[in-house]
C-alpha cells in the first residue's frame, strides 16, 4: 500500500508489488498495467498454472536462463513446459518463488525475487532480479 502525504511525499506502507510509474494524479497512485500483469503471472507460476501464465505472453516470448547448469538455455513459449519440468526435477519438487517488488514501465520491468529449493547438495536460497521486456502490453522476453 502506498500513502501520499499532504506534502506530496509518497510513503510506502508495504513493499509488496510496489510499481513504479509516472501516473500519479490527484494524490492517488495507479499501478502500471505491466506490473499488474506480472503480479498475475508470478501468481500463476507459483501455483503451477503455466498455461494461464503463458497465455498472457506474446507468442514469440523467450525465457533465457544464464549459466552452465542443467537449467541454462533459451526457452520459447512452446518449450517452457520443458524448463518447468527440469526445474521440478532439479529441485525434487521443492522449488518456491517469492516475488517481493515489481517495478515496471511501458517497455521493461524488474522483479525482485527470492528463489528457494532443496537439492541433493542441500538447501539453496537465491536472491535475484528478473528482467522483462514488453511490446504492445505483452511480455516478449525474460532474462
φ/ψ of residue 73, rounded to 5: 145, 180
Q: What is the mean pLDDT of residues 8-37?
A: 59
pLDDT at 25: 54
User: What percentage of the chain exceeds 90 in pLDDT?
Assistant: 73
Report the C-alpha gap between 92 and 4 in whole angstroms: 45
Give the list of residues 6+ apart from residue 75 with CB closer than 8 angstroms, or none: 62, 63, 64, 65, 82, 83
Using alpha carbons, select from 112, 61, 114, 113 the residue that is nearest to residue 83: 61
Q: What is the mean pLDDT of residues 108-113?
A: 96
Between 23 and 75, the more confident residue is 75
pLDDT at 120: 87
pTM: 0.78
Report the C-alpha gap between 38 and 109 in whole angstroms: 9
Over the stretch 42-80, which tens digit does the pLDDT of each residue have? 999 999 999 999 999 999 999 999 999 889 999 999 999
Report the C-alpha gap between 50 and 43 in whole angstroms: 10
Amino acid at each position: 500500500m502506498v500513502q501520499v502525504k499532504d506534502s506530496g511525499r509518497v510513503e510506502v506502507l508495504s513493499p509488496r508489488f510496489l510499481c513504479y510509474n509516472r501516473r500519479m494524479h490527484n494524490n492517488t497512485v495507479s499501478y502500471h498495467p505491466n506490473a499488474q500483469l506480472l503480479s498475475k503471472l508470478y501468481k500463476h507460476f507459483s501455483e503451477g498454472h503455466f498455461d494461464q501464465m503463458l497465455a498472457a505472453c506474446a507468442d514469440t516470448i523467450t525465457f533465457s536462463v544464464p549459466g552452465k547448469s542443467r537449467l541454462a538455455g533459451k526457452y520459447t513459449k512452446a518449450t517452457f513446459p520443458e524448463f518447468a519440468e527440469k526445474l521440478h526435477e532439479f529441485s525434487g519438487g521443492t522449488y518456491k518463488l517469492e516475488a517481493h517488488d515489481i517495478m515496471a514501465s511501458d517497455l521493461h520491468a524488474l522483479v525482485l525475487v527470492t528463489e528457494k529449493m532443496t537439492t541433493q547438495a542441500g538447501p539453496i536460497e537465491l536472491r535475484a532480479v528478473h528482467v522483462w521486456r514488453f511490446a504492445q502490453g505483452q511480455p516478449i522476453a525474460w532474462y
